[in-house]
Every structure is written in structure tokens, then in C-alpha cells.
Structure 1
Amino acid sequence: MDHNKIIERALIYIENHLQQPLTVESVAHAFNMSKFYFHRLFSAVMGDSLNQYILSRRLNAALTFIQDSSSSSLTDVAYRLNFGTQASFTRAFKRQYGVTPSAMKAGSSTLLPAPIPPVIRRPLKNINGDVVTDFTLTEFAETPISGIAFEVDLAADDYRKKIRAHSALLLSHVDKTVQSPCYVIYSNCRPDSPTFNVLCGIPGRIEIDEPYSFTVDVPQTFCARFSYSGDLLDIGDVLKSDYARFLKISRQETAETDIELIQAFDDVHQLDSTYHIYAPIKKLPGEPDL
């Protein structure tokens, strides 16, 4: 059973039935699945409950109706999208978008509807009835990593562009004949801040004639390792949800370390491939050495 494909099909089904009553039971039935298992599977894959996802997509669909000058009244929009009352529709809309539907209809602001979100592909496993992203407890060995170091502010609009630019800069200094993994290491440089230090590099001690080129000895670290396909910069919210579910279900704890996570690619020349995420965690008493 390909869980990712099932959820991809479910997202399309939901989108095509937003103007009809939708429940966990009705959506699960459409895919011949138990509503209890489908709910766990959907939450694990999408990082949100099915009901909350349906609500967000109905509000997303409302954007088109509201901003269409020929559309019906807000009351009609509310009932068309299965909101019980216009008041409940208005509350939910303002909670999601920070503006009332009446203000948007009056033209005070404009928002574009978002496409169906992609399903982040990763392996899953069942732990005592709970579906969770597959993980392995492992040691990240002490490794010298040489590369380009820089700082990013995840609250800034250009942080994705900045990380990609520095990754390209590293690749421009690595010969195509070099067969090596690549590591992107994120460390928190300010408490309770969206600002992070980032090192993009390869194992070993190499010389790169660029400002902010460093070799850092990454210490041996006990980690939970996850595998993903897709751009890390596009899966941040899913990763947070996966990690929170992992901590809850496995009863592990985050390690007290400056390193937030390590992104590991098998091939420095294939940074759009499947990769591993190493998240530092505490080694619990009695945890065997790996």
C-alpha cells in the first residue's frame, strides 16, 4: 500500500467535494479504509487533522467566490461551502487570513487561492497503532566538515534564495569527479530567534577561496534519522510536525546542543535527491551504544 499516493488522491477528492458534506468517515469510506486508521494516516502525512485541513481548503475556496464581483452574498458563500452560519464562516476566515470576508469583498485586500499542497514523500511506520514518519536512532559520527558558512533569518522573505545561492557557491568549488556526501548543518545562534547559522560543506578538510569558508569539527551526536524526498525549504512545517509526533510517540527528548539539525545528501552533485535529516536527541538511560 502506497500511503503517499492514497493521501494524494484524498486531497484531490476533498478539493472536488468542498461544497458537499465531508467527514472523516465519508472520506475514509471513499478509499475503503477504516476511519480510525485513515485519520491517523492523514494526520501523519499532512501534519494536520483531516477536519482542520478541510476547513482550511474551504476557506481557500472562499477566496475565489468573495473576490468575484458577480458572486453571491457572503451568506450564500458560507452555506455553499458548508459553514453552518455566516458568523462561523466570518470567524474562521478572519482567524486564517487576518481580515474579514466583508472587508475583502469591499476590495480592501486581495489574496490568491493556494494550490493543493504537495504530499511530502517519506516512509512511515506503525507504532502501537500510531502512524509516524519512519526513523532510526543512530550516532552521527564526529566529522570535520569544510564549506561555506553563513547566517539566515527564517523570518525574512529571502532566506530560501540565500540558502540555495550558498549551496550553489559550494558546488562551484567542488570538482565533478569528487564523490562525496554533502551536509547542511543548521545551528541556533540566538535563543528564541529565527536566526540560524548554516554550514554547507563536505567531509574532510578542503580549502575554499571564499569569504566565510570554514572547517568545523562536528562532534559525535546521538540522533533520530529521518528520510525525505523534496526540498527541505519547502517541508519545514511537515518536518516540525513529524519531529513533534516522533518525540511524543517514542518518548524521546531533544538534546541540549547548538546543532538544530543536519541535512545529509549521499552525493554532493545531487542535492535534489532523497536525503536524511539528523535531529539531535538525548540518549536515555539504558539506551544501547550504536
Structure 2
Amino acid sequence: MSVNKHHEERIKRVCDYINNHLDEDISLEKLSAIAICSKYHFHRIFKSFMGISTIQFVQLTRMKRASFRLAFESEQSIIDIAYEAHFESPEAFSRAFRRTFKQSPSQFRINPEWHSWHSKYEFKPPIVGENIVDIKITHFEEKNVALIEHKGHPKLVLDTVAKFISWRKETGLSPIKKSDSFGIPYSDPNTTPSEEFRFDICGTHNGEVPDNNYGVKSGLIPSGRCAVAQHKGSHDQISDTIYYLYRQWLPDSGEDLRDFPCFFHYLNFVHEVDECELLTDIYLPIK
């Protein structure tokens, strides 16, 4: 095993530990022990790969969860969110939040600047080994959905998600707890000009969608055979599972693709669980 791969495995192990233990006290000594590496060296190894220190990574990961709480859980107070993020006071949380995102928690709650927010999370932990557990062939039953189209920069999708959540809460149609939620990317966000990118956010709903100010309308996800892979963890890494389906599984499967984009079935949501607990089924339509 190369030295580089050995270090990648240590970093991946530490990142996984942090994501799974956000509510615990996390020290450099603890992380060095997880990495099985001297604390005098590991912090430099980590920063050389990730571009930030382990302690910065811990705080940014907690702040990421806090951001989703602010944006999508209006019933949670900023005080509770601050303490959950391991700050000693709401004031300390507010200072750190503003320093990081150039918005106060209150400003972010009202009008989050997602494009700037994404720039703080452009580091990417290494991928070690295969994270694909199983791929199944299934027949997807046709779904009538309410949908909202996102058109524009991929980093602003969460603005459109917030509108769809508001529509769901305001109307009581396609309630989050009782309906299925889907996402349909019509192209690869990594290769599509931002002005041409389209992503539909959908929730199951029978019947016509009443006229509304959110731009939500009726739609359909067609029935048909699909290959399904379950992605576990952050949506930031979901492309790794998608590329696995296209690059490795599809050529060996003997299957042909249908004329409909791959789509996601969200089994839980980032404002409800920590990112490490996210589960998303990825459907690849096949003939």
C-alpha cells in the first residue's frame, strides 16, 4: 500500500468518526488515536489533504448542521441550535457564524446565501474502498407528483427546496412525513453550464396542484425497470455512487438505458438527521 493511500485511509476514518459523533467532545488527541497516528504529525497530514485543520473541520461540520436547522426548522430556536453546535453561548455562535458565512444566524434563517455557503464546503474527504453495498433491479411504479423546477446554478438548489417545503407546509398537500420525496437532475451539475442546469424537486400527490405563488405544478415519474443503488451519507458525495452505476455497473450488466434521467428517492432529510445518516435510493431507468 502506498504512503498516500495509507494517509487517505486515516483521514477517511477520522472524517467518518467526526460525522458520526458531532454531539460528543472531540479533541485532537482523540482524533489522532482514531487515525492511529501521533498528534504531532496527524494534524499536519490532515491539513495537507483537506486544506483545513481537524478542529476547523469539526466546527464547520457542526455549523453545517446548524445551517440546515436554521433554514429548514423554523420551530427550533437559535439558542438551541447554538448549544447543539457546541457553543458556550448564542453570542459566541452568532460571532462564529457571521465570521464564517458573512451572515448572522437570523439573516441566514430569513435569506440564506447558499452560493457563498457552499464555498466553505468545497473540501472533499477521500473515498477509500467501495461504498456500494448492493444494486437491485426493480419495477418502479408510476408516481403522480407535485414538483417545482430549479433552473440555474446547482449551488442554489436549496433555495428552491426551501420554496417547496414552504408550499408543503402552507398547503398541507404532499406532507413530508406521509409522502415520498424525489429529486430529478436532468444533467450532470459538474459538466453542465449553470444557466442550463435543471433539477426537479418532487413530492407524491394525487390530483391537480392548485395555482400557487411558489411555481409548484403537477408532474409524473413514469413506471419502468430501474437499477437501484442506495447512497449512504452526505448528498455532497452522491455523484460518487452515480458514477459507479454508469462507469462500473452498467457496462457489465448488459442493460440498456431508458430515455429518462436517473432520479433520487430521499428516505430522510438533512434537517432531520445528521449527514452521515442520510439514505438516498438512486434509480437508473433501464429498458
Q: TM-score, normalised by structure 2?
A: 0.46
Q: TM-score, normalised by structure 1?
A: 0.46
Larger Rg: 1
Greater share of residues in helix: 2
Greater share of residues in strand: 1
